[in-house]
């Protein structure tokens, strides 16, 4: 049995607190996945996703029935064939996950790395592009709080003729994302991040160029569940492919509408403003930004270097006893940093006031 806590301050880098409209949408009675009302709702989701991704009005968008990692896997499964050269920007755990997936689908992977806490250098990407069929990059690297320079990497990919896959898991819906202007061919996120919907659906965007590559495959994709044509069967031709999680569509639709009603630039400003205030408040306690270059700091996941001597696990345990969840480092940053989630409904002053009061009490 889960304990009954009406209030929990969830400030992790995902999942984020549900938007109230998403929470309410979960109570709607079930409808069939082939119901005309669900198809109408799906069309609205597709239109709103085009806006969120900054895509053209005829770009294909959809929800995959899984989390952000399924979005990642579907891109490689459909767009990579054995023997293809794929350049993967891997300056953190999620870039490394991309490299592993691309390899599992038979790619020759060339990784471009950067020192811990630093962004990818586009010149390094340029040096690896010869013969590459795809470039893959994580926009906001959650494990280190780094914002990678996607527009510059996109320009290089476009010039070389390679497709560009972008992991927009910590950015789309909160940070500027301009798929059309940048030339992004495949992008994905997870519902539970910047949109504050429940985990379980992955909003994706697939360009015409990506579809052309997909249709020119020598062999069909080994991943039947997310075959791009299978997705089109359901989302455009309204024919059965698999049973979509209808309730999660209800909730995602509500959360996405709320995000667009608020406005993407308002959301961007909201997170930046709050991130600055948190940094200023925590500086006297000895916390400093982990990412040195301010332009490379991911606003939606604030990575803070811990003060010397701080009992990382002990303090986080004491916070958890007060029903406040934050996250430590991941992999090589474990014990070195905290990662504060500023996506969607987490980026609100009230829950951060709760955290600051608790920290001043525990550390002050």
Where does this chain bind ligand PLP (CB under 6 A)?
14, 67-69, 72, 94, 138, 142, 167, 169-170, 190
Nearer to ligand PLP, 138 or 248 (CB): 138
Residue 328 CA to residue 12 CA, distance in Å, equals 9
Phi, psi of 257 (to 5 degrees): -60, -45
DSSP string across 264-321: HHHHHHHHHHHHHHHHHHHGGGT-EESSSSGGGB-TTEEEEEPPTT--HHHHHHHHHH
Q: How many Å separate Cα 221 from the centre of its chain?
A: 24
Say if residue 104 carries a ligand binding annotation. Answer: no
As measured in angstroms, the least distance from the Cβ of 32 to ligand PLP is 26
Burial 155-181, CB ≥16 within 10 A → b, else e: bbbbebebbbbbbbbbbbbbbebebee
* Residues listed for the chain: 364
Instruction: Tell me how far, at minimum, the Cβ of 264 lies from ligand PLP, in Å.
Output: 19
How many Cα neighbours within 13 Å face the side chain of 309? Answer: 3
Is the Cβ of residue 41 or residue 138 nearer to ligand PLP in the bound state? 138
In the complex, the smallest distance separating the C-beta of residue 145 from ligand PLP, rounded to whole angstroms, is 11
Comparing CB distances to ligand PLP, the nearer of 96 and 244 is 96
Q: Please give the Cα distance from 358 to 360 (Å, whole number).
A: 6
How many Cβ atoms from other residues are within 10 Å of residue 131's Cβ? 13
Q: Is 187 helix (H, G, I), strand (E, B) or coil?
A: strand
Pairing mode, strands 163-167 and 186-188 = parallel
Instruction: In angstroms, give the least distance from the CB of 113 to ligand PLP.
Output: 16
Least Å distance between CB 188 and ligand PLP?
8
Compare residues 175 and 358 and give the one whose CB is closer to ligand PLP: 175
Quick check: helix, strand or coil at residue 250?
helix
Residue closer to ligand PLP by CB (options 138, 359) is: 138
Residue with smaller CB distance to ligand PLP, 89 or 358:
89
Give the span between the Cα atoms of 4 and 285, in whole angstroms. Answer: 33
**Residues near 86 by beta carbon (within 8 Å), at least 6 away in sequence:** 76, 80, 102, 107, 108, 109, 110, 132, 133, 134, 135, 136
Helix (H/G/I), strand (E/B), else coil: 145 = coil
C-beta of residue 164 within 8 angstroms of C-beta of residue 157: yes
Supply the minimum distance, in Å, between the C-beta of residue 112 and ligand PLP.
16
- In the complex, minimum distance from the CB of residue 259 to ligand PLP, in angstroms, rounded to a whole number: 18
Minimal CB distance residue for ligand PLP: 68
Residue 95 or 126 with smaller CB distance to ligand PLP: 95
Q: Which is nearer to ligand PLP, 17 or 68 (CB)?
A: 68
From 141, 144, 113, select the one nearest 127 (Cα to Cα): 113
- The least CB distance from residue 69 to ligand PLP, in Å, is 3
| Known binding-site residue numbers | 339
Binding residue numbers for substrate: 339
């Amino acid at each position: 049995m889960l304990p009954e806590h009406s209030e929990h301050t969830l400030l992790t880098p995902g999942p984020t607190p549900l938007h109230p409209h998403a929470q309410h949408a979960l109570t709607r009675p079930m409808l069939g996945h082939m119901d005309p009302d669900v198809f109408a709702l799906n069309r609205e989701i597709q239109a709103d996703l085009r806006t969120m991704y900054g895509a053209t009005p005829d770009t294909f968008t959809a929800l995959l029935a899984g989390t952000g990692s399924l979005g990642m896997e579907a891109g490689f499964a459909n767009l990579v064939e054995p023997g293809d050269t794929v350049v993967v920007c891997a300056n953190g755990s999620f870039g490394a996950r991309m490299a592993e997936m691309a390899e599992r689908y038979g790619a020759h992977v060339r990784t471009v790395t950067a020192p811990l806490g630093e962004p990818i250098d586009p010149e390094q990407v340029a040096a690896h592009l010869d013969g590459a069929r795809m470039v893959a990059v994580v926009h906001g690297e959650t494990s280190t709080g780094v914002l990678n320079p996607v527009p510059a990497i996109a320009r290089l990919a476009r010039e070389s003729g390679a497709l560009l896959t972008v992991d927009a898991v910590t950015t789309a819906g909160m940070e500027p994302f301009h798929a059309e202007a940048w030339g992004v061919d495949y992008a994905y996120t997870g519902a539970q991040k910047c949109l504050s919907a429940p985990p379980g659906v992955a909003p994706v965007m697939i360009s015409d160029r990506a579809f052309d590559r997909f249709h020119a495959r020598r062999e069909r994709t080994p991943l039947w569940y997310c075959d791009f044509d299978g997705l089109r069967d359901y989302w455009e031709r309204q024919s059965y492919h698999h049973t979509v999680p209808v309730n999660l569509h209800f909730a995602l639709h509500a959360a996405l509408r709320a995000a667009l009603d608020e406005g993407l630039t308002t959301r961007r400003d909201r997170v930046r403003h709050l991130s600055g205030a948190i940094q200023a408040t925590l500086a006297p306690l000895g916390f400093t930004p982990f990412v040195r270059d301010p332009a490379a700091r991911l606003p939606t996941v604030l990575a803070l270097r811990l003060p010397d001597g701080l009992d990382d696990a002990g303090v986080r345990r004491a916070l958890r006893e007060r029903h406040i969840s934050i996250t430590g480092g991941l992999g090589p940053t474990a014990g070195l940093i905290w990662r504060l989630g500023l996506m969607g409904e987490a980026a609100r002053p009230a829950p951060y006031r709760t955290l600051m009061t608790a920290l001043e009490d525990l550390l002050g």
